[in-house]
Amino acid sequence: MSSEQDFKPLVVAFCCNWCSYAGADLAGTSRIQYPPNVRIIRVMCSGRVDPQFILRAFEKGADGVLVAGCHPGDCHYLKGNLYARRRVILLKRLLETIGIEPERLRLEWISASEGGKLAEVIHSFVKELEKLGPNPLKEVVK
Amino acid sequence: MGAVRIACEWLGICSGCEIAILDLHEGILPILEKVEFVHIPVLVDVKEIPEADVGIISGCIENEDNIEVAKEMREKCKIIVALGSCACFGGIPGLRNLYTREEVLEKAYVTTKSTVNPDRVFPRKDVLELQEYVKPLNQVIKVDYYIPGCPPPSDLIGSVLTALLEGKEPQLPTNTVCDECPLQKERKAIPEIRRWCVDGRPEPDKCILEQGFICLGPVTRAGCGAKCPSIGVPCRGCMGPTDRVIDQGAKMISALGSIWMLDEELEIPPEEYDKLAEQLYDPVGMLYRFTLPSSLIPRKIMKK
Ligand code: SF4
Ligand code: SF4
Ligand code: SF4
């Protein structure tokens, strides 16, 4: 039995190449500390994050999924981040209906210069997930 | 060459799939010249399943009996074909995966309006133990070929059976319902998501999705001739996902994300997200009507 204290949430973070991934790089080169619970997947644009990827991440056991893109208006492809936002909004609604806390899915705008914000976001997300506990899907036997 | 022996079985069904076979009408005659139906409960009540070349199974897995029959069919038949969306994906009965078994039994045997059961009599568990959740056939046995649809289009059944009789590999269409749909597409964005018939009706001749009503055409396998949109009804996705789609509902959310214009403005405060999301009424019923048990999240996760 794992207690709440030993629970280390696993976060899958989809970061766009132009802003959020660059932000993560900056966090790295600036030696900003953030929890090691996160697995960053670089995508060209947050608009490329197919909702199937997100459900797949939950199905494979992620406790939380972060979609990070450029701030509205700054998208390298103009509107990809807005597409991502619409998808996340609708997907949260689906998650709620199917019994997965919608808070496990987060959308954040992180620019290339916001290495500090990236670290903060991961900090607060991990905290929130610690409270929520493990992804309940892990116990579903297909 | 002797006649090809075909055995049919039905599991958790409504029997629409069997009627779809009979709906081949005279199209069944050339097939009948080459085959012998050695077992077909919809027509002849025989209990023993004989050996056969092809086994056609309709219906989902919902009780113990279904599992036993499916396994016996797999042993007795060289080729297994899943017929209909219940067998292929779990189908309409799969929507019960949103509830616990106890809730389902309570609803069916006690609280439905047409039921009078003051003594709370339930079916005996040793007769037909209901499974906790509905599953598609391929989660219980290996399936060789699929004929999706609820019910499957008769000509698709005919073409798959004919291919098998000729020793060819049966093929399903790989394009989408949109590709076969006659309605006019303008590549237009939608200001809001609307409920069909509740928030109005689509104008005829124009793409239903582009008028704001959810139509699963973009993520659904072709093969029905776009039956529903052709008469002004949105596609509900009964043919299931195409080969390139893993999860029909998630892919539809992706498609909606491409056309749902929330943003003439760039800043939507996060507090408004939930309100906007309410435009998607009954997400599982709209997006997974036929495929919940075979989707990435196959059932509702119940709070302990
Ligand atoms: S697929 Fe449709 S027609 Fe066939 S058994 Fe299921 S509900 Fe009935
Ligand atoms: S009405 Fe539906 S099936 Fe027809 S083109 Fe539009 S989305 Fe596709
Ligand atoms: S249009 Fe859609 S719901 Fe209607 S028969 Fe075809 S696949 Fe099924």
pLDDT above 90: percentage of residues in chain B: 81
For A8-51, write each residue's pLDDT tens digit: 999 999 999 988 988 888 888 889 988 889 999 999 999 999 99
Q: In CATH, what number is assigned to the domain containing residue B90?
A: 3.40.50.700
- Same domain, yes or no: B37 and B185: no
**B278 and B157 share one domain:** no
Q: What is the span of the domain harbouring residue A18?
A: 8-141
B54, B20: one domain: yes
Question: In this structure, are B185 and B254 located in the same domain?
Answer: yes
> What angle, 0 to 180 degrees and rounded to 10, lies between the N-to-C axes of helices A20-29 and A115-132?
100
Domain boundary among B145, B165, B185: B165
Q: Which of A85-99, B140-154, B252-266 has the lowest mean pLDDT?
A: B252-266
Of A72, A82, A93, the CB nearest to B277: A93
For residue A3, being part of any structural domain is answered with no
Contact flag A90-B280 (C-beta cutoff 8 Å): yes
For a mutational test of ligand 2's pocket, the pick from B203, B208, B230, B287, i.e. the residue with the most ligand atoms closer than 8 A to its C-beta, is: B208
Looking at the fold, whether B25 and B84 belong to one and the same domain comes out as yes
A93 Cβ under 8 Å from any chain B Cβ: yes
Asked if residue B140 and residue B48 are part of one domain, the reply reads yes
pLDDT exceeds cutoff 60 at A141:
no
Looking at the 3D structure of chain A, how many domains does it have? 1
Cβ of B250 within 8 Å of Cβ of A52? The answer is yes
- Tell me, yes or no, whether A39 lies in a domain: yes
Share the mean pLDDT of chain B: 93
- Flag whether B120 is in a domain: no
Domain count, chain B: 2
Specify whether B195 is located in the same domain as B141. no
Q: A97-139: per-residue pLDDT in tens?
A: 999 999 999 999 999 999 899 999 999 999 999 999 999 988 7
Place of tokens 């808070």: A103
State pTM to two decimals: 0.94
Look up residue A44 and give its DSSP letter: S
Q: Is residue B104 part of a domain?
A: no
Q: Are strands B35-39 and B61-63 parallel, antiparallel or unpaired?
A: unpaired
Question: Is residue A126 situated within a structural domain?
Answer: yes
**What are the φ/ψ torsions at residue B127 (nearest 5 degrees)?**
-90, -60
pLDDT tens, B183-240? Answer: 999 988 999 999 999 999 999 999 999 999 999 999 999 999 999 999 999 999 999 9
B283 within some domain: yes
Pocket perturbation via mutation, ligand 2, pick of B179, B180, B183 by most ligand atoms within 8 A of CB: B183
Which ligand places an atom closest to the C-alpha of B56?
A: 1
Residues in chain B: 304
Same domain as B143, residue B189: no
Residues B258-278, mean pLDDT to the nearest whole number: 82
Helix/strand/coil for B8: strand
Same domain, B35 and B155: yes
Any alpha helices (H) in B84-241, and if so which ranges? 84-89, 101-106, 154-165, 177-180, 227-230
pLDDT of A142 over the 50 cut: no
Q: Is the pLDDT of residue B107 over 70?
A: yes
Q: Domain range for residue B136?
A: 4-94+127-165
The token pair that represents B124 in the structure block:
């005996």
Q: Is residue B102 part of a domain?
A: no
CB contact under 8 A, B254 and A51: yes
Percentage with pLDDT > 70 across chain B? 98
Domain-embedded: residue B224: yes
* Binary contact (B253, A90; C-beta < 8 A): yes
Q: Note whether residue B119 is domain-resident.
A: no
Torsion on CA atoms A55, B82, B240, B292, rounded to nearest 10? -40
Residue B186: predicted pLDDT: 92
B10 domain-assigned: yes
Q: Is A86 on the interface with B (CB under 8 A)?
A: yes
Distance A52 CA to ligand 2 centre (A): 21
Same domain for B160 and B217?
no
DSSP characters over B35-94: EEEEE-TTT----SPPPEEEEEEESBEEEHHHHHHHHHHHHHEEEEEEEHHHHHH-TGGG
Cα–Cα distance for residue pair B143/B191, rounded to 1 Å: 43
CATH of the domain at A95: 3.40.50
Residue A1 in any domain: the answer is: no
Q: What ipTM did this prediction achieve?
A: 0.93
CB contact under 8 A, A140 and B299: yes
A36 falls within a domain: yes
B144 and B249 assigned to the same domain:
no
Identify the pLDDT of residue B270.
84
Regarding whether B181 and B150 lie in a shared domain, the answer is no
State if residue B235 touches ligand 2 by the CB under 6 angstroms criterion.
yes
The closest residue, in CA terms, to atom 4 on ligand 1 is B17
Q: Are B145 and B170 in contact (CB under 8 A)?
A: yes
